[in-house]
Amino acid sequence: MMTQAFYTGLSGIKSNQFALDVVSDNLANISTTGFRGAEYEFSTLFEDALNTDSEGSSVSSTTGLGTQINATSTMMATGTISSTERNTDLAILGAGWFGVVGEGDPVFTRNGSFSFDSNNDMITQDGFHVLGTMANNISTDGILTQVVEKTELGDVATQGKLQFPKSLTYPSQATSYVNFFGNLGSADEVIKMGSSVIDPEGNINNLSLTFTQAVPQVFPGSQWDVVATTESIDGDTIYDTQTGRAEFNELGEITSSSLTTIDNNGSGVSINLGSSYDGVFAIASANIYASSQSDGSVAGDLVGYNINADAEVIATFSNGKQSSVGQVAVYHFQNDQGLERLNGSNFKESSNSGAPSFFKDANGNNIIGTEVKNYSLEGSNIEMTYGLTDLIILQRAYDANSKSITTADQMLQKALDMGA
């Protein structure tokens, strides 16, 4: 039994030393972004059954032969979310992992401290590339081929490095329509309305409408002759002139317009005066005003990339336009506890975790399946109070096991002395 006391004490010291190392590592990483703490689990070694008079005895009928570390599990609680000043900093508020890759297999992390390097590749602080889906709306010569409102997340196997060109151009788009709004009133005076329009070459031109009351007027209601003109912004070149008539009923609502389209240096522009009071009308008691709304845009150069609250990479251009160009992937596992720890923040797939997957919506489309917050980072999920309490408990347990070895040694020494 004295020999057993040695082994029991030694196994206790070894197990508690390992547990102290685990807690110490947790405390050392209390300020590490995305750190996931580890928990230790003890188990008894062999047990000897003792003879008892009754199987239903409330007294323990076994004696242990020591302890060992059975497993270390990962703490899955969400760490403290703190605000930052960078939109490339991302924090996952629920379940899920960011995927990053270096030279080998993908690594999964909760550390969303991302940035764009000199090549506009999206990377982590330690140089790993962030995985996600490219919108595939950028040509090889750096032209945005399509404005994408939202990049759809592809399948797990198709995720790749999020890499974007340093130079990107938003192409000019010719104006295809102009909607006019305003009140002509009822007085016999000239009323003008206008709008900027973009031609196929990306130039900004002027489209002007001139309204004059037709002669004679046919009551009830009113009739207005309209002259539409497209010209260069300096007024030196007139591209087209169209005439038509707009008619209004006695309530001032527009009932018809024969003015439909006009040429704008090679592209047609649809002219829409609206219907009822949703557009141009003629009411005597209301104020005279005019406004317009149109599509089309001038060309723009890349201002920069940023990440929105949906973890999408957004390109912003000098003409004020934006487009999604990529989607950061958020992975999920059947058993997060089964991930193999590489360090406190990085993990890799294992047979116990299962393969990474994406959540799907009701239509079967891949989604990130959790809330991601930009301008934020998730801190360590270790609390100082928890760690300090554990250190005290483990230190006392370590001392107790050490004392058992000392006591067993003293007892053995006395037994030897008695035998002598």
pLDDT of residue 131: 98
- Between the alpha carbon of residue 220 and those of residues 84, 224, 277, 284, the distances in Å are 65, 13, 17, 14
pLDDT of residue 358: 97
Low-confidence ranges of the chain (pLDDT < 70): 1-7, 9, 12, 43-66, 69-71, 401, 408-409, 419-420
What's the rounded Cα separation, in Å, for the pair 356 and 331?
6
Q: Which residues pair with 291 in a beta bridge?
A: 181
Q: How many CB atoms within 10 Å of residue 377?
A: 22
| Phi, psi (deg, nearest 5) at residue 43 | -145, 150
Beta strand 261-264 with 254-257 is unpaired
3-class secondary-structure state, position 213:
strand
pLDDT of residue 148: 97
* Under 8 Å between Cβ of 348 and 108: yes
pLDDT tens-digit profile of 48-79? 554 555 555 555 555 666 677 666 788 889 99
Indicate yes or no: pTM above 0.85. no
The residue count of the chain comes to 420
Q: CB neighbours of 348 closer than 8 A, spacing ≥ 6?
A: 105, 106, 107, 108, 339, 340, 342
Residue 49, sorted as left (phi over 0), alpha (psi -120 to 50) or beta, turns out to be beta
Q: CB neighbours of 370 closer than 8 A, spacing ≥ 6?
A: 92, 93, 94, 95, 96, 330, 359
* Under 8 Å between Cβ of 264 and 294: no
Residue 254, sorted as left (phi over 0), alpha (psi -120 to 50) or beta, turns out to be beta
What's the rounded Cα separation, in Å, for the pair 48 and 62?
5
pLDDT of residue 162: 97
pLDDT of residue 309: 86
pLDDT of residue 63: 60
The angle that helices 384-419 and 2-28 make with each other, rounded to 10 degrees, is 160
